[in-house]
């Protein structure tokens, strides 16, 4: 037992807890040596003839070979989706579509341990998070949109909602299965068929999902999965789809918008963020510390809505920072499959390089770095939880998205100053406000330019609640009724409005 620390006349508490390792078994996951592309309900060899290896980022060990789909493969997948759309999916009774979505949701629940282990293995995130966040939310999205599938006329009264056709969907590596659920569930509920491209580094849960689709007996071609890198994504953007739904970086989002300009294809973009987590001096400090930790160290900070800029009211700066640093010393960094792990592996070498570059820039520009003492594993990609103080608004670490476990701390004196600093960013995806005053929460929420604002909590998600950005964080919403609209065309008819 660690040494005891005496706090006043209270019962002594241990200064540190040591945990025995509690690894989740990876036996439940059966990997193929080599995967195919999922087109028309079958796994097929890529016409490109090319494959690449996908890794476990915590060990750098290879897991499986994945097809690198070329333009011909993408075209084949789009044709399969088009065929399935006209062959019955778009005309199927809405209750029939709901049936498949409910089945998928239930199978995801039944197989959630298998998916959670695979997600942690291929992505590096702690099993605690894939088990308790990614999987329950992915299933919840399918349940939620299953409920809307046969109620579209009521969701959009007098607007005659119609499916668009084939949706091309491109997703990132930070929440591979959850982002897939956010994309596929509303698209199918609205009567579309899809071609989805997972991120290059995390294709495995999307490929296992194909097995769920077969189990659910979803008609072939309704969902097609094409794996590969950015070139595969670019080929999907250029293909004969009716809509592109993209989640990823602002840079790639802008390129896609340029490519689609004038084509008549619909587009939604969920891009980056640099959220302010704003702490007022009347808040419950210990609760706020937990919210700050969850805001930036959840999923190693690979979260578009991460609370990566901490704005602290000057009067509580010192006690808050002391509590925060102390809390950081208790975070356990290491094996993603250990049930005690709080911070797992960085998703890829490329992402680790980006984090290291920005952290070096922070030190060079004059910010003060703090990292709790922690031993990082020798193999794999790792980065210790990091806090930067003495940060000026102009520093790169205050402006650019780091997408890693790195927090930049700034201060403010008045609510006006907090709003001004929070909005001083090209992004506008999310924000957090911590205060005991309800009126202040509302006052702040009216002024913050962010798609999602959490009050006295952070990083909470619900399928019924729309999510999306302002400014360079993109446009369009996912989740809720708002999330159905980008997958529908409306044939408004005025006689309908009058006649009912």
- Cα 112 to Cα 11, 119, 277, 391, 483: the distances in Å are 41, 10, 32, 41, 24
We find the least distance from the C-beta atom of residue 22 to ligand NAP, in angstroms, to be 29
Instruction: Indicate the residue among 336 and 404 with the shorter CB distance to ligand NAP.
Output: 404
234 near ligand NAP (CB under 6 A):
yes
200 near ligand NAP (CB under 6 A):
yes
124 near ligand NAP (CB under 6 A):
no
Q: Select which of 129, 270, 478, 485 is catalytic.
A: 270
User: What token pair was written down for 206?
Assistant: 């999307």
Q: What angle (nearest 5°) sits at the alpha carbon of residue 292, between those of residues 288 and 298?
A: 135
- Select the residue interacting with ligand NAP from 38, 100, 173, 434 (CB under 6 A): 173
We find the least distance from the C-beta atom of residue 199 to ligand NAP, in angstroms, to be 4
174 near ligand NAP (CB under 6 A):
yes
**Which residues from 263-282 bind ligand NAP, rule CB under 6 A?**
270-273
Region of 476 on the Ramachandran plot (φ > 0 left; ψ -120 to 50 alpha; else beta): left
Q: Which stretch binds ligand NAP (CB under 6 A): 43-51, 74-82, 197-205, 441-449?
A: 197-205
73 near ligand NAP (CB under 6 A):
no
Q: Is 18 one of the annotated active-site residues of the chain? A: no
**Which residues from 420-459 bind ligand NAP, rule CB under 6 A?**
429
Sheet of strand 166-170, all strands in order from the earlier edge strand to the far edge: 42-44, 37-39, 223-225, 193-197, 166-170, 243-247, 266-270, 474-475
**Residue from 346, 389, 393, 351 nearest 371 by CA:** 389
- Select the residue interacting with ligand NAP from 117, 252, 267, 419 (CB under 6 A): 252
CA dihedral 450, 455, 461, 466 (to 10 degrees): -40
Q: Which stretch binds ligand NAP (CB under 6 A): 33-41, 106-114, 119-127, 231-239?
A: 231-239
If binding means CB under 6 A, how many residues of this protein chain bind ligand NAP? Answer: 29
- Select the residue interacting with ligand NAP from 199, 328, 333, 409 (CB under 6 A): 199
- Select the residue interacting with ligand NAP from 170, 212, 218, 223 (CB under 6 A): 170
237 near ligand NAP (CB under 6 A):
yes
Q: Is 304 one of the annotated active-site residues of the chain? A: yes
Closest residue by beta carbon to ligand NAP: 233
- CA distance linking residue 291 with residue 302, whole number of Å: 16
Instruction: Indicate the residue among 168 and 334 with the shorter CB distance to ligand NAP.
Output: 168
- Select the residue interacting with ligand NAP from 44, 64, 255, 321 (CB under 6 A): 255
We find the least distance from the C-beta atom of residue 104 to ligand NAP, in angstroms, to be 21
Phi and psi angles of residue 175, each rounded to the nearest 5 degrees, phi first = -135, 70
Q: Which stretch binds ligand NAP (CB under 6 A): 17-25, 83-91, 244-252, 388-396?
A: 244-252
Instruction: Indicate the residue among 390 and 423 with the shorter CB distance to ligand NAP.
Output: 423
We find the least distance from the C-beta atom of residue 164 to ligand NAP, in angstroms, to be 19
Residue with tokens 């960094």: 333
233 near ligand NAP (CB under 6 A):
yes
479 near ligand NAP (CB under 6 A):
no
336 near ligand NAP (CB under 6 A):
no
249 near ligand NAP (CB under 6 A):
yes
Q: Select which of 210, 283, 304, 305 is catalytic.
A: 304
404 near ligand NAP (CB under 6 A):
no
Here's the x/- map for ligand NAP, 284-313, by CB under 6 A: it reads as --------------------x---------
248 near ligand NAP (CB under 6 A):
yes
64 near ligand NAP (CB under 6 A):
no
- CA distance linking residue 317 with residue 117, whole number of Å: 39
Q: Maximum Cα–Cα distance for the chain, whole Å?
A: 78
We find the least distance from the C-beta atom of residue 412 to ligand NAP, in angstroms, to be 24
Catalytically annotated residues: 270, 304
Q: Which residues bind ligand NAP (CB under 6 A)?
A: 170-174, 197, 199-200, 229-230, 233-234, 237, 247-249, 252, 255-256, 270-273, 304, 401, 403, 429, 469, 474
């Amino acid at each position: 037992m660690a040494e005891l620390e005496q706090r006043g006349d209270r019962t002594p508490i241990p200064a540190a807890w040591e945990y025995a390792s509690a690894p989740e078994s990876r036996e439940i996951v059966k990997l193929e040596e080599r995967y195919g592309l999922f087109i028309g309900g079958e796994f097929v060899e890529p016409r490109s003839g090319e494959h690449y290896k996908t890794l476990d980022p915590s060990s750098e060990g290879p897991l499986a070979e994945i097809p690198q789909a070329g333009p011909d493969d993408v075209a084949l997948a789009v044709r399969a989706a088009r065929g399935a759309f006209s062959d019955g999916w778009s005309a199927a009774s809405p209750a029939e579509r709901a049936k498949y979505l409910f089945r998928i949701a239930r199978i995801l629940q039944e197989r959630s341990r298998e998916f959670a282990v695979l997600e942690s293995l291929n992505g590096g995130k702690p099993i605690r998070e894939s088990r308790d966040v990614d999987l329950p939310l992915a299933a919840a999205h399918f349940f939620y949109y299953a409920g809307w599938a046969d109620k579209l006329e009521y969701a959009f009264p007098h607007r005659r909602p119609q499916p668009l056709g084939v949706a091309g969907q491109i997703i990132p590596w930070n929440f591979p299965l959850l982002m897939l659920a956010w994309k596929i569930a509303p698209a199918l509920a609205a009567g579309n068929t899809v071609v989805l491209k997972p991120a290059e580094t995390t294709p495995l849960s999307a490929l296992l999902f194909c097995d769920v689709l077969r189990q659910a007996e979803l008609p072939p071609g309704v969902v097609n999965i094409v794996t590969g890198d950015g070139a595969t994504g670019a080929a999907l953007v250029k293909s004969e789809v009716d809509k592109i739904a993209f989640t990823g970086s602002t840079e790639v989002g802008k390129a896609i918008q340029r490519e689609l300009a004038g084509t008549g294809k619909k587009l939604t973009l969920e891009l980056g963020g640099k959220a302010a987590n704003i702490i007022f001096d009347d808040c419950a400090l210990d609760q706020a510390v937990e919210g700050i930790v969850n805001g930036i160290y959840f999923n190693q900070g690979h979260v578009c809505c991460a609370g990566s800029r901490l704005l602290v009211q000057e009067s509580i700066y010192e006690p808050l920072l002391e509590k925060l640093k102390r809390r950081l010393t208790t975070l356990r960094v290491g094996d993603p499959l250990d049930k005690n792990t709080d911070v797992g592996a960085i998703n890829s070498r490329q992402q680790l390089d980006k984090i290291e570059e920005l952290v070096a820039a922070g030190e060079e520009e004059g910010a003060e770095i703090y990292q709790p003492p922690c031993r990082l594993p020798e193999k794999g990609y790792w980065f210790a939880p990091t806090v930067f103080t003495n940060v000026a608004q102009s520093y790169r670490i205050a402006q650019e998205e780091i997408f890693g476990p790195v927090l930049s701390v700034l201060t403010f004196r008045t609510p006006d100053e907090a709003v001004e600093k929070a909005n001083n960013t090209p992004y506008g995806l999310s924000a957090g406000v911590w205060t005991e005053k309800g009126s202040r929460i509302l006052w702040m929420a009216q002024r913050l330019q962010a798609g999602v604002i959490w009050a006295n909590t952070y990083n909470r998600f619900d399928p019924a609640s729309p999510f999306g950005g302002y400014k360079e964080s993109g446009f369009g919403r996912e989740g809720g009724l708002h999330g159905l609209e980008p997958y529908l065309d409306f044939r408004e008819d005025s006689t309908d409005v009058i006649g009912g």
